[in-house]
Amino acid sequence: MTRLHRRTFLVGGLAAAGAPLIGATPANALAYPFTLGVASGEPTADGFVLWTRLAPRPLNADGLGGMPNTPVTVEWQVGLDQAFSQLAASGSATAVQASAHTVHVEVAGLQPDREYWYRFRADGHISQVGRARTAPALGSGSALTMAFASCAHYETGYYTAYRRMAEDRPDLILHLGDYIYEGAAATDRVRTHSPSAEITNLANYRVRHALYKMDVDLQAAHAAAPWLVVWDDHEVENNYANLVRQEGQAPAGDFRARREAAYRAYYEHMPLRSAQSPVRENMQLYRRVNWGGLATFHMLDTRQYRSDQACGDGSQNCPEADAPTRSLTGNAQEQWLLDGMGQKFGTWDIIGQQVFFAQRLAADGKRSMDAWDGYTANRKRIQDGWQARGNTSTVVLTGDVHRSWAANLMNNYTTQDKVIGTELVTTSISSDGDGDASHTGVTPTNPHVKFYKNLRGYVRTSITPTRMNVDYRAVDKVSVRDMPVKTVQSYVIEAGNPGLQAP
Ligand SMILES: [Fe+2]
């Protein structure tokens, strides 16, 4: 058993002349720095990433969290139990101002398929305790409870759905994008963005991430389980495509710099591995995570490499959307996805991504140019590719549209030829505010689309080698705090038999 002892950090030798000296004063020279909580992510069979950030004044306009320009030692512990009476691992990291005093620790050497607890200490302060979990070893794994979420606009609602997701105590949480929103503050909503202007530079992106992470319900969800995160558009700017700004915005020469700032702040605030650390305006976010022999998570990036939206974006009747040269994933990511689906380490191939995957036609035949309907050749190559490889337990997870949907994926959407996979679309955590449970989106134009609900919430899945149980979870309101959650729809998906079935 190892115990950490309380001591004063001595880092004076690292401090530049004139800079404040932490360590030259007694412990607790800093105000409480763990204001943004703790997080874990990227589980493997022998470890995970631990994350925190030191930010005693998280909303300071310079984006530096009220920290002096001094490296600070941050000790971390991984315990076998919640009381930390036995440690499985421990160590220390150095938090520096260049990365806004964020900490990413890649823990290895742990046992597969078990839960752990972790905490940090810096300058005499001890963080909240988080719960993490390792994946099963390859070839094993009998059960996984996984929840997924997206779209958490801070101003339009409280994060009750994050809180309820934490209370379900899942083994793993996926976040499919729109973790933050970039827009300016509005005055008529349940709470208000900081900074007040639209965020475009590194300091502002850092402050916005800090504002979101100050929310205790979001902190609870991070502390409950390891996360796998991918972004959508609002982590940078609405509906951007690669280096093309959203329609109607001037092709400003500095969008490359803006994307660099946004990606950097995103990396800093997420429990990601150093393999995902950005290089200028580029960041390797698409990646695979194996959950033993049970499931493979193929996490996609559908923003960084995409062709610009066809026909001016929006909902269109647009033949150009079907051009074979157009791509949502980029060619390299498309090939990487199909290569990975050919590996078959796990029974289930779970594709975590952002935008609506199945065909979805409006009554007038128009379709969303920002979703896969705007990149149909890319979608067909991927669907044909997994069929050619014999993948019969493919489930696509989607965010973005702020509504719950469920759909069968079809070999041919026009002729409704054969079900080849299943799509589960989570509603938003808070974006668009309170819903309207009476509204329906299931229409005869899309016979393969089976379910729609306009309430805020998340999706909970329970996965075994033979079946996936799916619960759509929703709260009636996000304009008031602490609403209860309820299951508004359930499905079963059988391994080897794609498509939605009644539970
Ligand atoms: Fe969104």
| Vertex 262: Cα angle to 256 and 265 (nearest 5) | 140
Tokens of 295: 């499931």
Domains of the chain, each with CATH number or no CATH: 30-134 (2.60.40.380), 136-501 (3.60.21.70)
> What is the Å distance from ligand 1's center to 327 Cα?
21
DSSP characters over 126-179: E---EEEEPPPPTT----EEEEEE----TTT---HHHHHHHHT--SEEEE-S-S
The percentage of the chain sitting over the pLDDT mark of 90, rounded to a whole number, equals 91
> What is the Å distance from ligand 1's center to 370 Cα?
12
Q: What is the pLDDT of residues 17-30, one digit of tens each?
A: 333 334 444 557 89
Of the candidates 276, 443, 281, 426, the residue with the CA atom closest to the CA atom of residue 357? 426
Residue list, CB under 5 A from ion ligand 1? 151, 178, 431
Q: What is the pLDDT of residues 125-140, one digit of tens each?
A: 999 999 999 999 999 9
Q: How many CB atoms lie within 10 A of CB 198?
A: 14
- Over residues 105-116, the mean pLDDT reads 98
Across all residues in the chain, what is the average pLDDT? 94
Q: Specify the 3-state DSSP secondary structure of 431.
A: coil
Range in 8-17, 31-40, 360-369, 389-398 the model is least confident about: 8-17
Range in 6-10, 119-123, 167-171 the model is least confident about: 6-10
The Cα–Cα gap between 17 and 485 comes to 55
> What is the Å distance from ligand 1's center to 178 Cα?
5
The amino acid that residue 182 corresponds to is E
The Cα–Cα gap between 417 and 437 comes to 31
Instruction: Supply the pLDDT for residue 29.
Output: 87
Of the candidates 370, 335, 338, 336, the residue with the CA atom closest to the CA atom of residue 356? 370
- Over residues 59-79, the mean pLDDT reads 98
Q: What is the pLDDT of residues 332-378, one digit of tens each?
A: 999 999 999 999 999 999 999 999 999 999 999 999 999 999 999 99
> What is the Å distance from ligand 1's center to 239 Cα?
10
> What is the Å distance from ligand 1's center to 351 Cα?
18
Instruction: Supply the pLDDT for residue 24.
Output: 41
- If pLDDT is split at 50, 70 and 90, which confidence band does 11 have? very low
> What is the Å distance from ligand 1's center to 455 Cα?
14
Terminal-to-terminal C-alpha distance of the chain: 47
> What is the Å distance from ligand 1's center to 72 Cα?
36
The Cα–Cα gap between 180 and 281 comes to 18
- If pLDDT is split at 50, 70 and 90, which confidence band does 246 have? confident
Q: Where are the beta strands (DSSP E) in 170-220?
A: 172-175
> What is the Å distance from ligand 1's center to 230 Cα?
13
> What is the Å distance from ligand 1's center to 4 Cα?
43
Instruction: Supply the pLDDT for residue 17.
Output: 33
> What is the Å distance from ligand 1's center to 26 Cα?
45
> What is the Å distance from ligand 1's center to 153 Cα?
7
> What is the Å distance from ligand 1's center to 86 Cα?
42
- Over residues 26-42, the mean pLDDT reads 90
> What is the Å distance from ligand 1's center to 234 Cα?
7
The Cα–Cα gap between 36 and 209 comes to 9
> What is the Å distance from ligand 1's center to 401 Cα?
6
Q: What does the H/E/C string look like for 242-283?
A: CCECCCCCCCCCCHHHHHHHHHHHHHHHCCCCHHHCCECCEC
Tokens of 312: 């001016």
The Cα–Cα gap between 427 and 231 comes to 16
Instruction: Supply the pLDDT for residue 88.
Output: 98
Strands 295-299 vs 348-352: parallel, antiparallel or unpaired: parallel
Instruction: Supply the pLDDT for residue 254.
Output: 87
> What is the Å distance from ligand 1's center to 457 Cα?
13
> What is the Å distance from ligand 1's center to 179 Cα?
8
Q: What is the pLDDT of residues 263-289, one digit of tens each?
A: 999 999 999 999 999 999 999 999 999
Residues 6+ apart with CB under 8 A from 249: 237
Sign of the torsion angle spanned by Cα atoms 255, 256, 257, 261: positive
Instruction: Supply the pLDDT for residue 247.
Output: 76
Tell me the backbone φ, ψ of residue 7, rounded to 5 degrees: -155, 170
Instruction: Supply the pLDDT for residue 253.
Output: 59
Residues 6+ apart with CB under 8 A from 25: none
Tokens of 79: 């315990």
> What is the Å distance from ligand 1's center to 193 Cα?
16
pTM for the full predicted model = 0.94
> What is the Å distance from ligand 1's center to 252 Cα?
23
The Cα–Cα gap between 457 and 486 comes to 9
Give the H/E segment covering residue 384.
helix 376-388
> What is the Å distance from ligand 1's center to 152 Cα?
7
| Bridge partners, 410 (sequence order) | 419
> What is the Å distance from ligand 1's center to 404 Cα?
13
Confirm if 386 and 421 have CB atoms less than 8 A apart. yes
Instruction: Give the distance from CA 61 to its chain's centroid.
Output: 25
Confirm if 261 and 269 have CB atoms less than 8 A apart. no
- Asked if residue 250 has pLDDT above 90, the reply is no
Instruction: Supply the pLDDT for residue 10.
Output: 30
Q: How many CB atoms lie within 10 A of CB 478?
A: 27
Q: What is the pLDDT of residues 190-245, one digit of tens each?
A: 999 999 999 999 999 999 999 999 999 999 999 999 999 999 999 999 999 999 88
Q: Where are the beta strands (DSSP E) in 292-401?
A: 295-299, 315-316, 348-352, 367-368, 394-398
> What is the Å distance from ligand 1's center to 400 Cα?
5
Q: How far is CA 428 from CA 125, 233, 304, 478, in A?
A: 35, 14, 22, 11
Tokens of 402: 């702020």
> What is the Å distance from ligand 1's center to 183 Cα?
12
> What is the Å distance from ligand 1's center to 181 Cα?
8
- Asked if residue 5 has pLDDT above 50, the reply is no
Of the candidates 153, 79, 85, the residue with the CA atom closest to the CA atom of residue 119? 79
> What is the Å distance from ligand 1's center to 427 Cα?
9
- Asked if residue 297 has pLDDT above 80, the reply is yes
Give the H/E segment covering residue 461.
strand 456-463
Residues 6+ apart with CB under 8 A from 200: 182, 258, 261
- Asked if residue 15 has pLDDT above 80, the reply is no
Tokens of 439: 């509204």
> What is the Å distance from ligand 1's center to 156 Cα?
11
> What is the Å distance from ligand 1's center to 244 Cα?
19
The Cα–Cα gap between 69 and 476 comes to 45
Q: DSSP character for 311?
A: G
Q: DSSP character for 206?
A: H
Place of tokens 């647009």: 318
> What is the Å distance from ligand 1's center to 429 Cα?
9
Question: Helices (DSSP H) in 225-375: which residue ranges?
Answer: 255-269, 331-341
DSSP characters over 15-26: SPTTS--TTSS-
> What is the Å distance from ligand 1's center to 398 Cα?
11
